[in-house]
């Protein structure tokens, strides 16, 4: 650095200008298995999302996405990874930045802008996982997701959260969701969830991100059911197999004891 530059920087005071607080909020998706009657039947897979019940105002007792404040020395990605790891105890392998939410009045505490991330947790880890209580001892739960005709429904046992949204374009033609009605969800998190879900579904239709729900090796039917659970659209098995064929590599292992012909196990290729 030139001496001139050094001199300039010494006199430069970022603190003289107002600054916002910055957070990372993460929409973490996973799959929830539901056993079906009949010893041969494959369990049904359902898409679910992790939410945390707020222990403090604002939006006390409402449900919110896991997340937290950006700290000095970290990037927004590492912040998202750290917060999620603290919350779930699981290693975070995948993040996607899906938007930034900076409406001035979005948080009653003041000027707080949120980086929204998408993540996917391996189903295997999910079942082993003990969800850690957050720092403020609030409780965390996985909610099954339904999202049709602009109505988002989240269910966890007795708890049912719903939100009605509308897909719009802002003044700069950017795609956004507007909240028409929201019950039980904190802040603008219904918007974030809707956006994350739209992103995830788009990716899953193009055979991306679906591998991250499953263990290292899997059967093609498991992979297909995963795609169907995420997108909400059924596929014909024969066609799915052909389209996926150059994205997977077969192993020499097969499933056993399933009451039907053994299935070859595959892994992601490339």
Partner DNA sequence: GCAAAAGTGTTAACAGTACACCCATGT
Partner DNA sequence: ACATGGGTGTACTGTTAACACTTTTGC
**Contact present, 177 and 165 (Cβ < 8 Å):** yes
Binding residues vs DNA (CB under 7 A): 38-42, 219-222, 236-239, 241-243, 254-264
66-75 exposure pattern, b = at least 16 Cβ within 10 A, e = fewer: bbbebeeeee
| Residue 137 interacting with a second copy (CB under 8 A) | no
Kindly state whether residue 269 participates in binding a second copy, applying the rule CB under 8 A. Answer: no
Return d(Cα 60, Cα 238) in angstroms, integer. 49
Is residue 70 near a second copy by the rule CB under 8 A? yes
Distance CA 61, CA 67 (A): 16
CB of 155 vs DNA, minimal distance in Å: 23
Shortest Å distance, C-beta 247 to a second copy: 15
Under the criterion CB under 8 A, does residue 237 sit at the interface with a second copy? no
**Binding to a second copy in span 103-132, by CB under 8 A:** 103-104, 108-113, 115
DSSP code of 59? S
Site for a second copy in 167-206 (CB under 8 A): 170-174
Residue 248 touches which of a second copy, DNA, none (CB < 5 to 8 A by kind)? none
Closest CA to 76 of 50, 48, 98: 98
| Least CB distance to a second copy at residue 205 (A) | 14
Kindly state the tokens that stand for 26: 């993460």
Nearer to a second copy (CB atom), residue 138 or residue 258: 138
* Residue 207 CB, nearest approach to a second copy (Å): 15
Could you say which of a second copy, DNA, none residue 261 binds, taking C-beta under 5 to 8 angstroms by partner kind? DNA
User: Of the two residues 32 and 96, which places its CB atom closer to a second copy in the complex?
Assistant: 96
Least separation in angstroms between CB 127 and DNA: 20
Selected from 21, 127, 251, 269, the binder of a second copy by CB under 8 A is 21
| First-to-last C-alpha distance (Å) of the chain | 43
Residue 239, binding choice from DNA, a second copy, none, Cβ under 5 to 8 Å by partner class: DNA
Q: Is residue 26 within the footprint of a second copy (CB under 8 A)?
A: no
72's tokens: 């000095």
On whether the CB atoms of residues 146 and 152 are closer than 8 A, the answer is yes
Q: Is 140 in contact with 99 (CB distance < 8 Å)?
A: no
Q: Which residue pairs from 238-244 have beta carbons closer than 8 angstroms and sit at least 24 positions apart in sequence?
A: 243/207, 244/207, 244/220
Q: Which is nearer to a second copy, 63 or 143 (CB)?
A: 63
Helix (H, G, I), strand (E, B) or coil at 94: coil
| Exposure on the CB side of residue 54, measured as CA atoms within 13 A | 17
Residues that bind a second copy (CB under 8 A): 1-2, 4-5, 8-9, 12, 14, 17-22, 56-58, 60, 69-77, 80-81, 92-97, 99-100, 102-104, 108-113, 115, 170-174
């Amino acid at each position: 650095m030139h001496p001139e530059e050094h001199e300039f920087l010494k006199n430069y005071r970022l603190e003289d200008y107002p600054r916002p607080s910055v957070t990372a909020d993460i929409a973490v998706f996973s799959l929830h298995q539901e056993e079906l009657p009949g010893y041969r039947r494959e369990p049904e897979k359902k898409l679910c999302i992790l939410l945390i019940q707020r222990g403090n105002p604002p939006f006390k007792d409402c449900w919110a996405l896991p997340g937290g404040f950006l700290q000095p020395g970290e990037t927004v990605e590492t912040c998202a990874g750290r917060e999620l790891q603290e919350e779930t105890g699981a290693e975070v392998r995948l993040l996607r930045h899906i938007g930034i939410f900076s409406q001035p009045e979005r948080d009653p505490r003041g000027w707080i802008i949120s980086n929204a991330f998408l993540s996917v947790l391996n189903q295997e880890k999910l079942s082993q996982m003990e969800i850690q209580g957050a720092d403020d001892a609030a409780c965390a739960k996985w909610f099954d997701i339904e999202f049709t005709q602009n109505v988002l429904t989240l269910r966890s046992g007795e708890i049912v959260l719903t939100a009605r949204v509308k897909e719009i374009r802002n003044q700069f033609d950017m795609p956004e969701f507007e909240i028409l009605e929201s019950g039980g969800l904190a802040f603008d998190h219904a918007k974030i969830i809707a956006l994350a879900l739209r992103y995830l579904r788009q990716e899953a239709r193009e055979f991306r991100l679906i591998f991250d729900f499953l263990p290292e090796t899997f059967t093609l039917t498991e992979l297909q059911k995963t795609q169907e659970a995420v997108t909400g659209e059924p596929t014909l098995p024969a066609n799915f197999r052909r389209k996926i064929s150059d994205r997977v590599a077969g192993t020499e292992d097969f499933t056993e004891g399933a009451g039907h012909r053994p299935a070859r196990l595959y892994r992601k290729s490339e």
